[in-house]
Amino acid sequence: MRDALANFDAIAAGLDRRPPVLFLDYDGTLTPIVDHPEAAILAPAMRDRLERLAVRFRVAVISGRDLVDVRERVRIEKLIYAGSHGFDIQSPEIRLEQPRARGYLPALDAAERQLHEDLDKEPGVLIERKHFSIAVHYRRVPEGEQAAIRESVNALADHKHLRVTHGKKVIELQPPVAWDKGHALLWLMEALAIDPDAVTPVYLGDDITDEDAFKVLPAHGVGILVGTHEGPSVARYRLADPGAVAHWFDRLLANTY
């Protein structure tokens, strides 16, 4: 996997022919990974970069966070926001609540109640309800007890007929619907009438769930993995951390397309 900063000129050569459309994860990409989700605050300098990027390019933030949460953290009206891994999308022009997922809201409500009953007593566990999913964070759980937390959530998912996804020290319950960040990216391209042959879709993300978006990029698209995650990646490029993402944005802003 090549370094996206060291190979910026090669990437930029393609952007001269097809301008970029930017799709960005939030946690671990625009902000550092932290122990508590509430502490992931967007730095003013990063917000300034995003504002300047949005003047020139289409910019979407596709996050596992709840739509309202990620929108309030970024606070740039011109951007496109997709929350709950793409189940919930909003921009100045479009709005989507994944219709097949709505029918599973009662199952999520019941699972949330059961998770609190089962896990509230476990030190270090944080249960985070979003509109279309429930995240169980176990970063602060002792290493030897993390497998039991995952097993408990998996068993509940089977009982409630929900889907399980994994991230960095988080396990999440979602509707069992064929939808993810990759589907959201493709839906956005179509909904916004963006010709994929006329632009370069660029996706930056740090987690296993971002692989779904990397996989749907066209051959000329640019997938950039930020940091590392526990599995293999199909991204062609890598950046070390959100600080390197900021430098990459600076290079992008310094070029004219």
pLDDT digits (tens, 9 = 90+) for 102-161: 999 999 999 999 999 999 999 999 999 999 999 999 999 999 999 999 999 999 999 899
3-state helix, strand, coil in the chain (%, to 5): 40, 20, 35
- Write out the E strands in 63-132: 80-83, 88-90, 95-97, 126-129
Burial level of 127, CB count in 10 A (0-12/13-18/19+)?
middle
Beta partners for 83? 88
CB atoms near residue 99 (< 10 Å): 8
Q: What is the overall mean pLDDT for the chain? A: 95
What's domain 101-174's superfamily in CATH? Trehalose-6-phosphate phosphatase related protein; domain 2 (3.30.70.1020)
CB atoms near residue 197 (< 10 Å): 7
Residue 117's pLDDT is 96
Burial level of 43, CB count in 10 A (0-12/13-18/19+)?
middle
In whole angstroms, what is the distance from residue 254 CA to residue 105 CA?
A: 45
Instruction: Report the predicted TM-score, pTM, of the whole model to 2 decimal places.
Output: 0.92
Are 79 and 91 in contact, with CB atoms under 8 Å apart? yes
How far is C-alpha 136 from the chain's CA centre? Answer: 16
Separate counts of helices (H) and strands (E) for the chain: 9, 13
- The CATH number for 2-98+179-254, chosen from 3.10.330.20, 2.40.50.60, 3.40.50.1000, 3.30.950.10, is 3.40.50.1000
The residue annotated as part of the active site, out of 25, 88, 207, 210, is 25
Closest CA to 165 of 238, 87, 106: 87
- Asked if 2-98+179-254 and 101-174 have one fold, the answer is no
Torsion angle, alpha carbons of 95, 98, 103, 108, to 10: -100
* Per-residue pLDDT at 257 exceeds 70: no
CA dist 179 → 175, 195, 226 (Å):
9, 21, 23
25 is catalytic: yes
Confidence grade of residue 245 (pLDDT, cut at 50, 70, 90): very high
Residue 228's pLDDT is 83
List the domain boundaries for the chain: 2-98+179-254, 101-174
